[in-house]
Amino acid sequence: MSTTAIDDAPPRASTAIAIGVAVVGTLSLALSGPAAVVGAVGVVGLAVGLRSSSRAAITLGATGLFCGTLLAGLAGAPSPLLLTATAATVVAWDVAEFGIGLGETVGRGATTRRAELVHAGTSGALALIGAGGGFAVYRLAGGGPALVPIALLFGAVVLVLALRP
């Protein structure tokens, strides 16, 4: 009797979506050179975490992406770009975490594409709602440059709370 080991790596669709969304978030920081570099390091960390199925590396990568966003906010980047980067960071982190969970639960070879796409779509929709809330806080507070990082942090906290079970 032979037993075949199950490949518990994250499924390919979740990996591609998470990295793609993270790249989009980093590209939105491209106007701010140092912030884009920090964001790119975050994308690499996220990719390493997905490759090694490491939740800690994924969280570190997402933290790098978010730090790049905060750096861009402090440098005066336009708020729509910052909100895009923040939403992309949270969606990339959530989809990567979900992918690792799927890999651990059913394995990479299982048919999970539909579940992955539904999860990514729901995460994206919640990110839009969170970004809208962050933009509303920004606008209601007067929209000064010092408020951008605070509004981003508020939006990110709302997104993370909405995405956690």
Q: Identity (one letter) of the amino acid at 14?
A: S
Q: Which ranges in the chain belong to alpha helices (H)?
A: 12-27, 33-52, 55-74, 79-106, 113-140, 147-163
Answer whether 134's CB lies under 8 Å from 83's CB: yes
Indicate the pTM of the whole model: 0.83
Each residue's pLDDT tens digit, 108-125 = 888 889 999 999 999 999
C-alpha span between 48 and 102 (Å, rounded): 17
Predicted local distance difference test score (pLDDT) of residue 39: 92
Least confident of 29-33, 88-92, 113-117, 136-140: 136-140
**C-alpha triplet 115, 118, 123: angle, nearest 5°:** 120
Query: Residue 97 and residue 95: Cα distance in Å, rounded?
Result: 5
86 pLDDT higher than 80: yes
Over the stretch 21-61, which tens digit does the pLDDT of each residue have?
999 999 988 877 789 999 999 999 999 999 999 999 999 99
107 pLDDT tier (thresholds 50, 70, 90)? confident
Alpha-carbon span 61 to 56, nearest angstrom: 9
